[in-house]
């Protein structure tokens, strides 16, 4: 479970060049290998910001739970190349936090050997520059101003 706090106000701040934010989309529990009709609705709605609130990917049923980060990287790449997702998020700034399946395993927690590598792969998926301090801290918490919006994303600590 991820927590996302969205605070909106009427002042226009010169931080976000896109102007006033009026459409923010949220999504989770996406099986990237399946046809998902919701992407067509998201595309029509044209979100300016898209926030993954966990489980942007699942490993396909033939992969089972992953025991290596390469499977996670391949699943993230599959989603990045998924045409309905690309169309739906073409004009959106994409943010997100991860959850267990984004690590590559159901109920994955602190005992997962490649947890840090999965987090780095997820940051790459989000388009975060490798020079960002987010690559060097625990968790994917993040705050960012978008004109009339302040977004703070934070994953709940999975400690099991």
What is the structure's pLDDT at 81?
92
CB 43 within 8 A of CB 69: no
- Compute the chain's Rg from CA coordinates: 16
Residue with tokens 């599959």: 78
Which positions ≥6 away from 157 have C-beta within 8 Å? 139
How high is the pLDDT of residue 8? 39
Q: CB neighbours of 143 closer than 8 A, spacing ≥ 6?
A: 150, 151, 152, 153
- pLDDT for the residue numbered 3: 42
Whole-angstrom distance, CA of residue 7 vs CA of residue 26:
15
- Longest Cα–Cα distance in the chain: 50
**Contact of 26 with 123, CB cutoff 8 Å:** no
CA 54, CA 10: separation in Å to the nearest integer? 29
DSSP labels, the chain = -EEEEEEE-S---TT-TT-S---EEEE----TTS--THHHHHHHH--SEEEE-S-S----TTT-S-SSHHHHHHHHHHHHT-HHHHHHTTTSEEEE---HHHHTSTT--TT-TTHHHHHHHHHHHHT--TTSGGGGSSS--EEEEETTEEEEEEEPP---
For residue 86, the model assigns a pLDDT of 94
- From first to last of its 160 residues, the chain has per-residue pLDDT tens of 444 444 433 333 334 555 678 888 989 999 988 888 999 999 999 998 898 988 999 886 555 555 678 888 999 999 999 999 999 999 898 988 887 778 777 776 667 778 888 889 999 999 999 999 888 887 777 777 776 666 666 655 555 5
Q: Output the pLDDT for position 94.
A: 92
CA 63 to chain centre: 21
């Amino acid at each position: 479970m991820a927590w996302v706090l969205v605070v909106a106000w009427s002042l226009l701040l010169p931080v976000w060049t896109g102007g006033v934010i009026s459409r923010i989309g949220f999504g989770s529990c996406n099986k990237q290998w399946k046809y998902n009709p919701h992407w067509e609705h998201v595309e029509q709605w044209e979100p300016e910001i898209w926030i993954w609130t966990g489980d942007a990917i699942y490993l396909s049923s033939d992969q089972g739970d992953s025991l290596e980060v390469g499977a996670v990287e391949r699943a993230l790449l599959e989603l990045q190349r998924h045409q309905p997702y690309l169309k739906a998020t073409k004009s959106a700034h994409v943010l997100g936090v991860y959850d267990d399946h984004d690590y590559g395993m159901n109920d994955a927690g602190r005992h997962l050997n490649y947890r840090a590598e999965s987090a780095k792969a997820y940051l790459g998926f989000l388009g975060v520059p490798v020079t960002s301090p987010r690559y060097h801290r625990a968790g994917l918490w993040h705050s960012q101003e978008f004109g009339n919006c302040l977004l703070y994303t934070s994953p709940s600590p999975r400690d099991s």
